[in-house]
Structure 1
Amino acid sequence: FLSSEAKKFLEKYLEENIENLLKETRSKGTADSVKNSLINRAVVIDGQYNKTHSYKIYSFDKINKFGEELLAKGDTKFSEISKNVQPDDLATIIYTSGTTSDPKGVMLIHSNFIHNIRVTPPTQRLNKEDRWLSILPSWHIFERIAEYCALSTGASTAYSKPFKQVLLPDLKSEKPTVMVSVPRIWESVYKGVMDNVKKGSTLQKTIFNWAIGIGEEHKKAEGILNNTLPLFDQADYTPEEITQAKKTVKSLGWKYRLADKLVFKKIREVTGGELRFAISGGGALLETVDLFFNTVGIMVCEGYGLTETSPVLTARNPENYIMFTVGPPLPEVEIKIVDKDDYNKELPNGEVGIVLTKGPMVMRGYYKNEEKTKEVIKNGWFNTGDLGKKTYNGKYLKLVGRIKDTIVLRGGENIEPHPLEDRLKECDYINMVIIVGQDKSRLGALIVPDFEALKIYTEKENIEYKNIDELINHPKVISLFQKEQKRLISKEHGFTPYETVMGIALLPNEFTMEAGEMTETLKMKRFEIHKKYKEEIDRICG
């Protein structure tokens, strides 16, 4: 049984990826059969449906009644099937999102899933009293494991959508205690809060800025005392730093409580007021966003994983809430960092390299693609393709980029785009950004402006325009973004001269799933974006 949206997605996915599926399955009949069965036999169980067709439509209550009747008759078919399933039997084939290349069929066995289901609930302190809010597509590996974990603990799940006009009312009405999400959601909530502050009175802005300043200082000091701030170059904070942190926490205590009452409590109410924590995965959380939600008292437990690892490898949890990291490995998961030029050379803690992992969650391999499987799995270690480093004590992981995303300029310089993109996204006028420049003489940035913030700026500066195209090509607007990138990407902020973004192109529309530019977890498909905006990239990168 499929919801109408799942049916639409699968039909669209088959249309766009039919060529790859035919290559993988070696059978046109197989792909056609799947496609036709989706079109003709999918049962819609949400919303209204057209009663003029010949399909049989069953309500969810009716389906439950069928099950009860079968059980009453002593039907044991389901139990018999479960007895015949072995841990190493194939459970599913999931095609990767293809952010940098064509999708590959990931073969996951039952024991892969069972590992995550077995170790995640106790690690994250999940229980049957929890109320989950689901906003991700049900076919995505991250959402699937979340649903399995909720089911395994006996918790309830409400379903929403990752759009503020739907999500915000659902948060208030459902009052979830746990929410599985992606960074883009938290970036949107953060921007929404900031936009509302800008529209407020001078007094409201002053109170908000005071509260955030006090809150951040208090939380950073607390982090030193509670060891919730990561250390990469030293084992511990100095006695002087600890003494100062104690003084800060003591002196700001009453101010922080006042800030919580005046500001932070109201922000927490946006989530329904009962959220114990959210789990964020599918991409890196901006440090500014991470610090903001930690400051206001919303615990966002950032995690890390891949389809090939079923999916979760590491995750912060209420007892190991280390900011700016993706937390410790789950039980039975091994992580090591190796030299990107020599995978046999394991690097010391604190140094950046390729993330390798080993354990019961690693896939069997890629469907009908032994060559690709051997490329990524060697001696039991799976090459994630991600760049990361461990904290000084080796307990926690921080991601810094992806090896396939590394940009190599014509002069041979290697540049990781993610730190640059994260920095630029701190700009109030930037909604989305992708750094480009592979095989070019210089770096460029494709920028989707935050048009709401930009509108306020144009009114203030008396900039006139008739449409979006005129706006994004206006000399004063282009100059604004050039000044902002120079302010944010500079030597003072730790960037090298060749990381300077020399050219920018402002785009009129957001990157979307519908246009094939974003994955289901709202990550940019760099390969597709590069193809679509080739002319702009050639123009700005030289």
Structure 2
Amino acid sequence: MPTIVAFETISELFENLVAKYEKSDKTAFAFKPSADEPYKTITWSEVRDDVTAVASYLLQQDVRKGDRVAILSENRYEWAVVDLAIQSVGAINVSVYTTLPAAQCEYILKNSESKIFFVSTGIQLKKAIEVFDNCEDLKQVIAFDEPKVQDYIEKEYVKLFDTICTAGIKAEPQQSEKLKSRKKNIKPEDVATLIYTSGTTGKPKGAMLTQRNIVSNVKAAHDAISIGESDRCLSFLPLCHSFERTGGYYAMIAGGAEIYYAESVDTVARNMLEAHPTIVVSVPRLFEKIYNLVKKNVEEGSAIQQSIFNWALNVGEKYWHGKRGLVSIQKAIADKLVFSKLHDRTGGNIHFFVSGGAALPAEIGTFFMSAGLNIIEGYGLTETSPVMCCNRYGEEKMGTVGKVINGVTVGIQRLDDNKIIAQISGEDYPTELTSEPGEILNRGPNTMKGYWKNDEATQEMIDEDGWLHTGDVGRFVDGRLEITDRIKHMIVNAGGKNIYPGPIEDMFKTSKWIDQLVVVGEKQPYMAALIVPDFEALENYAKQNSISYENMDDLLGKEAIVNLFSKETRSFSKELASHEKIRDFRLLPNEFTVETGELTPTLKVKRRVIEDKYGHLIEDIFKDA
């Protein structure tokens, strides 16, 4: 489906959307002023006024074309306003994750040589003040929220967002011609943003994404997926990540869709009921949690309820695979008896979910598709702007990330001799092509310009022929891309066998007892796992079986609990090859989180951090091996 307006740059997208909708009451964005209040909608004419005010202020502060302006904020309306203002003046948006500590924020600000720093809450402002004196290029900090501690705003370099908007409105007459000139001179090859890789190791690198990188990806996404004026997207993944930036922001407004901001990641379930979205862009973690919750509720129900649910799931899967006739009648009954409740919990209007950022376990994807909640899974990297492949609506095949998008070529390079053994361009669909596994490569207009001030890392990532090396292993299956794992995540056991932990971990995540799991066993004779249990399920089990305990550590040490997980790991391991089976484990009393350092801001596992943190447990597992 084509975009709602024509454009070659993000600024042009914004200008053309304003021209189309400024005389209407069309909603552009919506947010909740507080938890107890309903969503407040913002029209495109209001967006135009706010963006113009901020852009005028940036010009007044001598922000020049190519200057870097940083944002440290949760998803909110002000984020979009500032971003569109940055794009309008030809500057570069430097996005910073709110979960980063002050020291890492300082590194990004210094590396990018950012000139102005927008921050959201008092917590984020505190970080900015802590590092300001160490960032010689930084001239000003602008806070979205008025800080509760007044000492903060006594700093001369700290301004409030409302104050600079007022100043920008006053400056508009003097800056009007300059703003027009800036917009006119923005070129597709100009860098639009620096997105710093969250990275599981080493210092973050700033991927330079140009206007062409992002625009080509937005248009290719519209070629593959239908996004229109009747759609509403609930936004909660970090906007400083390219998945949400392109998929949940630019691609949405390019179709005329409305963007409703969730209050936080923790309130998504409630906000879906309030916003009634038609599209939700998420990482697999959300779907895993919903799946495990439903599975747990079913298993706690009566035998009749379980039978009805399993029947409904079977009918739903048949319907998804194209069977009609009697199945259509059965599907209507299944929807009314079973699936309607799940649809209601997601707001009742879901057209489809989009999943990315990590592999979606096929069993979980199949469950949602059978329930009539389509999940379109895609694949890509920050460095590919980000989409390389995606399933199309109505053509979803779980276990794959779909077909290559238009304009992009994906290749498979054999690991042992670096020979490219297969490649598909987006305009071609050789459904008969199945290849052996190898490293996934990307070439096309979505390939980043390079890493900011890091030619060495750029040359490691992009070879002389223009192929970007993803570091992921995969293969084509009937013309669709199937991801195996990350090359650097590969475990080599004591016998020299190569083991990819990702698929094993995805399989175990479907257990109602397991919330998170990391496979370990480098240079060891067998595989083992560090397991974070589903604590709620475990506590219910303890209650039902009269197991008394003082705290979670005490509960996890109980023989009955250890036996429960022993049985579960043996059951799942039956599906694995001998060298992949999980033969031992340790239970952890705390979940992996971004705040405690085990997860990246996009919820990917930091294996080295976990292996270091729980090295004593890993050593204990293999001490007699």
Which of the residues 295, 299, 312 maps onto 2:374? 299
SS in 2 for 1:337: strand
Distance 1:37 1:200 in 2: 61
Per mean C-alpha deviation after superposition, the further-off stretch among 347-356 and 360-369 is 347-356
1:114 aligns with 2:210: no
Structure 2 equivalent of residue 230 of structure 1: none
- Is the contact between residue 377 and residue 390 of structure 2 (CA under 8 Å) also seen in structure 1? yes
Matched-pair contact (CA < 8 Å) for 2:233–2:277: yes
Equivalent residue, structure 1, for 2:407:
332
Residue 211 of structure 1, CA deviation = 1.5
Change (3 A) 1:96 1:58: closer
Backbone CA RMSD of aligned residues = 3.1
Q: Distance in 1 between matches of 2:437 and 2:560?
A: 40
Structure with larger RCO (C-alpha < 8 A, sep 6+)? 1
Distance 1:344 1:131 in 2: 44
| Alpha-carbon distance in 2 for matches of 1:199, 1:170 | 27
Distance change >3 Å, CA 531–CA 320, structure 1 → 2? same
2:470 alignment partner in structure 1: 384
Query: Does the CA-based 8 Å contact 1:3-1:43 persist in structure 2?
Result: no
Shift of the 161–306 alpha-carbon distance from structure 1 to 2, 3 Å rule, reads: farther
Label 1:391 to 1:72 Cα distance change in 2 as closer, same or farther (>3 A): same
**Rounded Cα–Cα distance in structure 1 between residues aligned with 2:604 and 2:395:** 26
What are the Cα deviations for residues 376-399 of structure 1, in whole angstroms up to 9, with x where unaligned?
Answer: 21211111111111122x2x2111
SS of the residue 2:441 aligns to: strand
Letter in 2 for 1:459: K
The one of 561, 575, 580 equivalent to 1:499 is 580
- Secondary structure, counterpart of 1:278 in structure 2: strand
Structure 1: which amino acid aligns with 2:186?
V
Which residue number in structure 1 is paired with residue 262 of structure 2? Answer: 160
Shift of residue 98 of structure 1? 0.9
Which residue in 1 is equivalent to 2:441? 356
Shift of 1:328: 1.2
CA distance in 2, matches of 1:459, 1:72: 69
Per-residue CA distance 1:462-503 (angstroms, 9 max, x = gap): 33322111111222211211221111112xx2x221112122
Larger mean Cα displacement after TM superposition, 32-41 or 333-342: 32-41
Q: Distance in 2 between matches of 1:51 and 1:204?
A: 58
**Cα distance between partner residues in 1 of 2:534 and 2:214:** 39
| Match of residue 542 from structure 2 | 458
Within a 5 Å distance, the mapping from 1:88-487 to structure 2 comes to: 88-145=189-246, 146-160=248-262, 163-164=265-266, 166-220=267-321, 222=322, 249-347=324-422, 349-378=434-463, 379-392=465-478, 394=479, 396-487=480-571
Tell me by how many angstroms 1:12 deviates: 5.8
Distance 2:390 2:489 in 1: 23
Equivalent residue letter for 2:224:
T
Q: Which moved more, 1:90-99 or 1:342-351?
A: 342-351
Partner of 1:243: none
- Cα deviation for residue 284 of structure 1 reads 0.7
Note if contact 2:292-2:510 (Cα within 8 Å) is conserved in structure 1: no
What is the CA-CA distance between 1:408 and the residue it aligns to?
A: 0.8
Return closer, same or farther for 1:397/1:110 CA change in 2, 3 Å cut-off: same
Deviations 1:54-88 (A, max 9, x none): 5654549x94x877776677813332112222222
- Output the CA distance in 2 between the equivalents of 1:14 and 1:36: 19
The one-letter code sitting in structure 1 at the alignment partner of 2:251 is C
1:535 aligns to what?
Answer: 616
Identity of aligned residues (%): 37
For residue 11 of structure 1, report the CA deviation from its aligned partner: 7.1
- Aligned residues of 1:176 and 1:274 also touching (Cα < 8 A): yes
* 1:273-312 deviation line (CA, Å, top 9, x unaligned): 1111111110011111100110111111111110111111
Deviations 1:229-264 (A, max 9, x none): xxxxxxxxxxxxxxxxx6xx4443322221111111
Give, in angstroms, the shift of residue 39 of structure 1: 11
Q: Secondary structure at the match of 1:343?
A: coil
Contact 2:520 2:529 in 1 (8 A): yes
Q: Aligned residue for 2:141? A: 41
Letter of the 1:381 partner, please give it: W
The CA distance in 2 between the partners of 1:33 and 1:114, in whole Å, is 37
Q: Which amino acid aligns with 1:303?
A: G
AA aligned to 2:363 is: T
Paired residues in the alignment total 505
The structural deviation recorded for 1:202 is 4.8
TM-score (norm 2): 0.74
Structure-1 separation of matches of 2:307 and 2:300? 12
Alpha-carbon distance in structure 1 between the residues aligned to 2:544 and 2:234: 40
> What is the rounded CA distance, in whole Å, between the counterparts of 1:159 and 1:19 in structure 2?
27
Task: String of CA shifts for 1:23-72, please: whole Å, max 9, x gaps.
Answer: 95799xx9756869989723224x98567845654549x94x87777667
- In 1, Cα distance between equivalents of 2:175 and 2:615: 63
Change (3 A) 1:103 1:384: same
Counterpart-to-counterpart distance in 1, 2:421 and 2:264: 40
Q: Give the letter for the 1:79 counterpart.
A: K
C-alpha contact (below 8 Å) 2:389/2:403 kept by paired residues: yes
- Secondary structure of 1:253's match? helix
Counterpart position of 2:100: 13
More helix by share: 1
Query: Normalization by structure 1: what TM-score?
Result: 0.84
Decide whether aligned partners of structure 1 residues 78 and 99 sit closer, same or farther in structure 2, where only a CA change above 3 A counts.
Answer: same
Cα shift readout 1:144-172 (whole Å, capped 9, x = no counterpart): 112122232332211115645x1122111
Amino acid at match of 1:508: P
Per-residue deviation at 1:371?
Answer: 2.4
Q: Secondary structure at the match of 2:100?
A: helix
Secondary structure at 1:211 match in 2: helix
Task: Tell me whether 106-115 or 8-17 shows the greater mean CA deviation.
Answer: 8-17
How far is 1:16 from its partner? 4.4
The 3 A distance-change label for structure 1 pair 202 and 319 is closer
* Structure 1 residues 341 and 33, CA gap change in structure 2 (3 angstroms): farther
Written as runs of structure 1 = structure 2, the 5 A alignment for 1:74-89 is 75-89=176-190
Q: Secondary structure of the residue that 1:195 maps to in structure 2?
A: helix
Q: CA deviation at 1:372?
A: 2.4
SS, match of residue 137 in structure 1: coil
Change (3 A) 1:73 1:39: closer
Are the equivalent residues in 2 in contact too, given 1:320–1:328 (CA < 8 A)?
A: no
Q: 1:275 to 1:369 in 2, by over 3 A?
A: same
Range with greater deviation from structure 2 (254-263 or 50-59): 50-59
Cα 1:216/1:16, change in 2 over 3 Å: farther
Paired amino acid for 2:569: Q
Q: Is the 8 A contact 2:528 2:583 kept in 1?
A: yes
**Cα deviation, residue 199, structure 1:** 4.4
Q: Which amino acid aligns with 2:349?
A: E
Query: Which ranges of structure 1 fall in alignment gaps of 5 or more residues?
Result: 223-245
Q: 1:74 to 1:477 in 2, by over 3 A?
A: closer
Asked whether the equivalents of residues 503 and 541 of structure 1 are also in contact (C-alpha less than 8 Å), the reply is no
Residues 136, 161 of structure 1: 8 Å contact kept: no
